[in-house]
Amino acid sequence: MTTDVFVIGGGPAGLAAAIAARQRGMQVTVADYSVPPIDKACGEGIMPDGIAAARRLGLDLTCSDAHPFRGIRFGHGERSVAADFPVGTGQGMRRTSLHWMMVDRAAEAGVDMRWGVRVSGITDKGVMMNGDLVRARWIVGADGGNSNVRRWAGLDDSVKNSRRFGFRRHYRLAPRSEFMELHWGDGCQLYITPVSEREMCVVLISRDMRLRLDDALPRFPQVADWLRSAGSATPERGGVSATRRLKSVCGGRVALIGDASGSVDAVTGEGICLLFQQGIALADAFAKDDLSLYAASHRHIGRRPRFMADLMLMLDRRKRLRSLVLDTLTSHPRLFAGMLKFHVGEAA
């Protein structure tokens, strides 16, 4: 068996790379030990720049399985400030719905998808899948934050690496506003995203791996009062929110994408947008037979989200600065609107 591109990991990052490569006429194989739908504890909100990047892959995320939101609201105690996106809307979508949509799009594009298979290593000729060699011109590591491909390729060295912890639960509750909400508390944040007309995604992010939603909700009385009458639609699910910057995202014939290639903290809400943009850039580099182009694009794509993540994590660590900044934004909504414009890449 031979292929132009072998993608190890069939989550959204791997499928984005696969679809983009097929759009350029390459033969693509995707392999994953899991089977669809592949879930992950995340905020399930996709920003307008992510919606635009998805369209380039032939994905229309403004569908019946998604719920639009017009902007972002920050909550800080009894104060709050909100702003609309300068262009377009965001979409709240269950991670499993997104994955099924991408699986269908990949099948439509002609991607060869191998589910429930084991990849045991890579060689200078290709990939070992279920004990057999699959020859490949390019190998893509899309196997998450604990990437084996990254280790096999000798790309594990990082210049920055820190972790926080997220716990997600869905509630049977109609949205109370047209915004995605981010509520700030001491040492943690609550991310609230409407994912349907009758369901909300609530995520707790903190540095304490033992802190759970039920324990943290009393720190957010207004949110707790609102959720008290709602039933849980799903069990609580946990995951790691990592900030990781690698020294290199490619080497030889191997390239990394998504969380395998580094990541920004989930508080930015930019994870899905990043992997869509990375998939497009990677396929462009394959077409030009030059992975250095992908390395440069990867740095450029991540620059703005990294800046915003560093800013918001600084607010998380410094209580006085957080209170000052959030009170200033509440008193001057135009500043918050400008910040949101920069966050989604619409600032001049």
Q: Where are the domains of the chain?
A: 2-66+92-161+242-319
Using CA atoms, how far residue 279 sits from 12, 54, 83, 116, in Å, is: 10, 10, 30, 23
Q: What is the pLDDT of residue 346?
A: 85
pLDDT digits over 222-233, tens only?
899 999 888 899
- Residue 10: CA atoms inside 13 Å, Cβ hemisphere, count? 29
Three-class secondary structure assignment of 180-229: EEEEEECCEEEEEEEEECCEEEEEEEECCCCCCHHHHHHHCHHHHHHHCC
pLDDT band at 348 (very low <50, low <70, confident <90, very high): low
Q: What is the pLDDT of residue 304?
A: 94
CATH superfamily ID and name for 2-66+92-161+242-319: FAD/NAD(P)-binding domain (3.50.50.60)
Using CA atoms, how far residue 171 sits from 37, 47, 76, 194, in Å, is: 20, 21, 22, 10
Using CA atoms, how far residue 301 sits from 91, 279, 288, 346, in Å, is: 21, 11, 19, 14
pTM of the full structure = 0.95
pLDDT band at 147 (very low <50, low <70, confident <90, very high): very high
Backbone angles phi, psi at 338, to 5 degrees: -65, -40
pLDDT digits over 183-193, tens only?
999 889 999 99
